[in-house]
Chain A
């Protein structure tokens, strides 16, 4: 007897509070299994909880666009950083010429994020269901799952999960698991395409965008693994259910990684559109007085705590503040820390971890990082600050990918958020906090060698 015949239909989802807000079992969806059992969901757990992915429903109607419509009505947006409407991407790939390819992006190269690894550990079959459903929705005959080579535990768990699904014949198209080099820009979608096409895992010049011409020059859907898991829930429970959580302009739940000065740092599932202060409350709230919040991780923006805490977690509300939801990273910076020293450390990381392909990342970004380190250590004068500001302004829009844009925004929002500290450092030298252990955990590896990208 196959798993599919045992589990005839989708199981009902536990009820959600009206705004999907309560932490723990009520209000969680992707991580519901974890709160019920306290362990990672294997295939049996997964099928008991959710039933099989409703692939047969799509196939029976012969109408794969039903899922695209459901995703559109649900208002699902990409959870990899850009918050692009998922339905539009699905439709563009489905409309492309030739058979499509699906790529699930689990690279999670953002050092401050842990949500994709957590999701893949606790609920891998939701992600794999999402891949199967997306494959069917865009008419793909090829499906890839890209993970970082350095995470061997994750690789073993996913191989086992895929083998179990194959025994039960759950996936219409076999999912190929790939272990890519783990570099910051290797998670960028054109880098995945370049690697799957046999090249280096480095971003390439666009256009063409992957949805037009990607893996094997075919239309390619690249989605973050959380996005695919959300899609697997929408396929089962529908858009109206999906919108029971979150806000009308930012529906559903989202995974967030809370770090810094919060009582219980970690990954939480929270409603979209909630105030950032409420999101921090999922991790027990601030553990001390905050000066700022880093929204979106190393690819994100600094906001003063007074601005950040009441701000809503939506693409538009954050854009008005010069920030974005990114991959759901929130780092609370305590007052005792030096925001300039934290920023200098991250800029050093970003400078070392570009693809070393374009002028701005080879020269401009390292120069910005150097100036910023001088500022943090009280060695920069007023002329140096002007030079730094000019160099920061010249980074954006001048690379093949958005890496220099991200670094520019990170540096610019730091100069704005910590403006008082900038003045203080120029006049009096470094603050006492410069000798304290940093709040942000910044990897210290060297620049990857030219042969380390394959």
Chain B
């Protein structure tokens, strides 16, 4: 089946594009937090199925498109 299953998803952060807006950590605190200057710390890049919808929302909320959701080769 061609559909991507949510357990195949992982977060990818473009560190150069990131400006530290912090929306991602607000929407996905299970996987991301912010350092004292507001830049994300990724605790786990693997997105468990139950967080897939939250992860998509976090990706969509980034104003500079620095956060992406990649399919991991399974």
Contact = CB atoms under 8 A, between A and B. Distances in A.
A360 B39 contact: yes
B41 A357 contact: no
Interface stretch (A255-263, A340-348, A394-402): A394-402
Interface in B25-41: 35, 37-41
B16 to A, nearest CB: 5
Given A394-B41, A398-B41, A358 B35 contact: no
Contacts of A359: 15, 18, 20, 35, 37-40
30 contacts: A204-B16, A205-B14, A205-B15, A205-B17, A357-B15, A357-B16, A358-B16, A358-B39, A359-B15, A359-B18, A359-B20, A359-B35, A359-B37, A359-B39, A360-B35, A360-B39, A363-B35, A363-B37, A364-B35, A364-B37, A364-B39, A394-B35, A394-B41, A398-B15, A398-B39, A398-B41, A399-B15, A400-B14, A400-B15, A400-B16
Contacts of B37: 359, 362-364
Nearest to A358: B15
A281 to B, nearest CB: 43
Contacts of A364: 35, 37, 39
Interface string B40-73: 1100000000000000000000000000000000
Interface in A197-239: 204-205
Interface residues of A, number: 13
Interface of B: 14-18, 20, 35, 37-41
Contacts of B20: 359
Contacts, number: 38
A359 B33 CA distance: 14
Give 4 closest A-B pairs by Cβ, nearest first.
A359-B39, A363-B37, A358-B15, A357-B16
Contacts of A360: 15, 35, 39
B66 to A, nearest CB: 10
Which of A204, A358, A359 is most buried by chain B, counting CB atoms within 10 A of its CB?
A: A359
Interface of A: 204-205, 357-360, 362-364, 394, 398-400
Nearest to A204: B16
Contacts of B38: 359
A152 to B, nearest CB: 31
Contacts of A357: 15-16
A374 B62 CA distance: 36
Nearest to A202: B16
Nearest to A363: B37
A394 B36 CA distance: 10
A280 B58 CA distance: 53
A205 B37 CA distance: 21
B18 A358 contact: yes
B51 to A, nearest CB: 21
Contacts of A394: 35, 41
B16 A205 contact: yes
A359 B38 CA distance: 8
A400 B14 CA distance: 7
A358 B39 CA distance: 9
A142 B52 CA distance: 45
Nearest to B38: A359
Contacts of B41: 394, 398
Given A360-B39, A363-B35, 11 more contacts: A205-B15, A358-B15, A359-B18, A359-B20, A359-B35, A360-B15, A364-B37, A394-B41, A398-B15, A398-B39, A400-B16
Contacts of A204: 16
B36 to A, nearest CB: 8
Contacts of A399: 15
A19 to B, nearest CB: 44
B31 to A, nearest CB: 14
